[in-house]
Chains A and B, each alone.
Chain A
Amino acid sequence: MNNTIKVGMADANVCKPPDVIATLGLGSCVGIILYDPVKKIAGLVHIMLPDSTKILNNANKYKFADTGIDSLIKDMVNVGASVRNIVAKIAGGAQMFSFNNNLEMMRIGDRNVEATKDKLQKLGIPILAEDTGANYGRTIEFHPDTGLLHIKSVGKELKIM
């Protein structure tokens, strides 16, 4: 019996085989999978914004790339993952509407991806796979038994990475 653990916007969870962990309909948000391949423990955080230090109301740690990654690592360590094993796979950060002006809010997808990469690099966590940007939504599902990330989009073939 395997369950799919669903993670909503500004939320996170951890998962062990045979369960899988998923987030549905990622748009400009970024889904960050952290994975300890030795212990087979996976975590998924669905972040909405790049930087918690630029926002006053930052109580929900999982809303931001910087604090979301930190909190997810803690959650994973709590269930037995080792920080030095952790690798990452990331997806999302699309620009859903083709706004014709270059306002800062319109580039939010790109900024989320940049902030995610910066944070992972600072922590020395390698990014093994990435499917980011473009203009379409993604449903992602991670299988901790195989370490593979399944990505579904409307009108596109299933990507496995």
Chain B
Amino acid sequence: MSDIDLNGINNMQFDVLREIGNIGAGNATTALSQMINARVSMNVPKVELLEFKELSDVVGGAEKIVVGILFTLGGDIDGMMMFMMDKVASMHLVNILLGNLQQAEPSESTEFSEMGLSALNEIGNIISGAYLSSLSSLTNLTITSSIPYMAIDMAGAILSVPAIEFGKIGDKALLIETEFGDMDNYVNGYFILIPTLNSYSAILKSLGL
């Protein structure tokens, strides 16, 4: 039986979901590393079942200013994928890619240039594409993704969007979260995969569980 009950996920299911995060984020991190030509490491993915009020703590507080790039997923699974970076870190990333010509010294109050924003969107696209394609080939499921939607704002406000989707089906959100960063911790952020409940079942089933 592959039905999944949010409050009664067994260890096996947790392990499988963690492994999915590992493979997806591994590919995404490699893509990022190639893009900036530097070593990027990632931590062991966390599979967490969170109450909504705890949700923004996962990325370091509700008021932290972050760049969130959101993709809605379709095909055999539904849900959302979010690529989230600290605003200053994302400016460093854009500067590495475009050279320092594009914008002033990164800080929370600096605005992105038009070019910077566009580059960031593209980074989100490539990285989440790497994540999702590895997930797709692992599970043999068709996974399509929307164009990237970007917002730069408080983490809590950005996370409210996927949280509301989860709110429709339960009182908790299950997410697969991976933190990444380069050696100097200049460029760090999170991949957050948020499938709907039915999609978790589809993923586990496709793997024979």
Contacts and interface: CB of A to CB of B under 8 A. Distances in A.
Contact of A59 (B156, B161, B168, B171): B171
A57 B168 CA distance: 7
A139 B149 contact: no
B153 interface: yes
Interface string B159-194: 111011101111100000000000000000000000
Q: Interface SS of chain A: helix, strand, loop or mixed?
A: loop
Contacts of A24: 56, 61-63, 154, 156
Nearest to B108: A154
Contact of A27 (B109, B152, B160, B170): B160
Given A25-B56, A60-B171, A9 B163 contact: yes
Q: Interface SS of chain B: helix, strand, loop or mixed?
A: mixed
Interface residues of A, number: 33
Interface of A: 8-11, 24-29, 48-49, 55-57, 59-60, 63, 94, 96-100, 105, 108, 135-139, 154-155
A10 B158 contact: no
21 contacts: A8-B54, A9-B53, A9-B56, A10-B51, A25-B56, A25-B62, A25-B153, A25-B154, A25-B156, A28-B160, A48-B167, A49-B167, A60-B171, A96-B151, A96-B157, A96-B158, A99-B149, A137-B156, A137-B160, A138-B157, A155-B109
Q: Which of A48, A100, A138 has the most CB of B within 10 A?
A: A48
Nearest to B156: A25
A26 B54 CA distance: 14
Interface string B29-67: 000000000000000000000011111100001110100
Contacts of A25: 56, 62-63, 153-160
B150 interface: yes
Nearest to B70: A97
Nearest to B56: A25
B12 to A, nearest CB: 25
A49 B153 contact: no
